[in-house]
Chains A and B, each alone.
Chain A
């Protein structure tokens, strides 16, 4: 049985949406995948399985994982403090969280490079205490942690605010301490939101380029991230090599997106709007 939809315009608007998505998203990404046309598995492996490319991919994934884990803890902590307490300056602190998201990548890059560089305000102090940040993997992790921090806080903030107060009060009335309540009651309820936050942070940090290249040192095999290797291959006009590494990164991004959508569908408390 077909019934006419009272809201008209479906063919026109659905068609427009599909055409725009096809032109903006599908066309370029399809071109990227098609650029591998003529690439045999052997040449693909020759581009991706070199020690340099493997090191870059390992570094990128490792740093992104590290930064996302740090962000989940730090972000949850900050979100929890902001949700639990009312204090003067709370709105200002809350506003600060948006800054890494607002800052353009190249701006973040040069600011962090100077601040954490050997002569910078933080860098000099850290160097004196044996911590080398600039030109090391630690520098990459610092930049990625900075960039992804708001994703975590903003993702967990809303479900945290919506947690029924009755839960924690009930727990407290049953004699549970603050930490017990947090670990046993709050955290499990936040699970899906934290998982989404982690995946969002990971998706963002895996592809990050602008803010990292200024602080990373970019030493092949040691501090050269995969997106930078793509740019290098491109400047050598090794399109096939660039495309091969890009397709690997694209596949990882796609998996992340599927994961995020999967988590979000299961989430009852959270909806992420960044």
Chain B
């Protein structure tokens, strides 16, 4: 039957076209790094560095693909099947969530790499427009009535959760650890927030490209990105109290086994701790854990009072109390 052979030919053509789409079976190695929002520029610079290292060591050509988004949303995407070889997320809890809910990452992941698998750290600062027209010097200026605040959604972002906790820590310090007062403080803060983007870079776009708000609560590295992209247009305000943010990394055991990329994935993350990578991180505004590179990377990091996640009883406790469904954030934002 001619129409049947025609249909068969058509299906054959479709399958041939679909084949390269379905399977990426190149002889070379490909890694997928699922990361949080503002690391785009850093990993774009880091990946060629690692590729050169891996080539010299093994002769293999490695290509690293990136996916960026709010850290919580990215973690859930991995749980839902996003095929990551490594995750480089904004906080340990998001990797724990993958380990617990999907079993794809070994539960002892944090002890597999130095510094609790946190190759660089950061903190939370405030970014204001040129000349600081609203005179924002510290967190208490941010909650003043009529100040437009831009920060991301703590339900989806990672930096957004550090932002929340940094403000909360400030309020606790100011009010002799009075939780009720701290809660009032963050309530006032989020009352001033117009736009809750899903990740840190979305907030940056809202603040910079769309021109919304008077102050952006941001990662220190993101603040560097903004002031470098548009010199003179924005100023960084370092608050008196902030939080030591520890982005975490892990390889995804189940996926690297399936892809046969275990060695490369592990080497990729270990390479983050080398002086060359640390200097690069430092250049992009991340605080290096290898402090020896501090003098040679061209970025200076102001000293400020940094609390740690331990003061909130660790991430499991902080997540359950503040950011889980029905937690403090849901209560104060009236969802």
Contact = CB atoms under 8 A, between A and B. Distances in A.
Interface of A: 9, 50-52, 113, 117-119, 134-135, 217-220, 222, 231-232, 235-237
A119 B209 CA distance: 10
B88 interface: no
B303 interface: no
10 contacts: A218-B195, A218-B206, A220-B196, A222-B194, A235-B69, A235-B70, A235-B153, A235-B198, A236-B155, A237-B73
Contact of B335 (A50, A113, A218): A50
A146 to B, nearest CB: 18
Nearest to B155: A236
A72 to B, nearest CB: 30
Given A117-B210, A217-B206, A217-B212, 5 more contacts: A117-B211, A118-B211, A135-B210, A219-B212, A231-B198
Q: Give the interface residue-count category, chain B.
A: 20 to 34
- For the complex of A and B, the 10 pairs showing the least CB-CB separation, nearest first, are A235-B73, A237-B76, A219-B194, A235-B156, A236-B155, A235-B198, A219-B195, A118-B211, A236-B156, A218-B195
B134 to A, nearest CB: 17
B153 A232 contact: yes
Given A219-B195, A235-B70, A235-B198, A52 B210 contact: no
B214 interface: no
Contacts of A218: 195, 197, 206
Interface string B130-159: 000000000000000000000001011000
Give the one of A50, A52, A118, A232 with max B CB within 10 A.
Answer: A232
A18 to B, nearest CB: 16
Contacts of A117: 209-211
Nearest to B198: A235
Give the one of B3, B153, B195, B334 with max A CB within 10 A.
Answer: B195
Nearest to B76: A237
Contacts of B70: 235
A10 to B, nearest CB: 13
Contacts of A119: 211
Contacts of A219: 194-195, 212
Nearest to B7: A16
Given A220-B196, A235-B198, A113 B209 contact: yes
Interface string B82-115: 0000000000000000000000000000000000
B280 to A, nearest CB: 29
A176 B215 CA distance: 63
A136 B335 CA distance: 23
A218 B194 CA distance: 9
A232 B195 CA distance: 12
A231 B156 CA distance: 11
Contacts of A236: 72-73, 153, 155-156
B297 to A, nearest CB: 33
A237 B153 CA distance: 13
B212 to A, nearest CB: 6
Given A113-B209, A134-B210, A232 B335 contact: no
Interface string B61-82: 0000000011011001000100
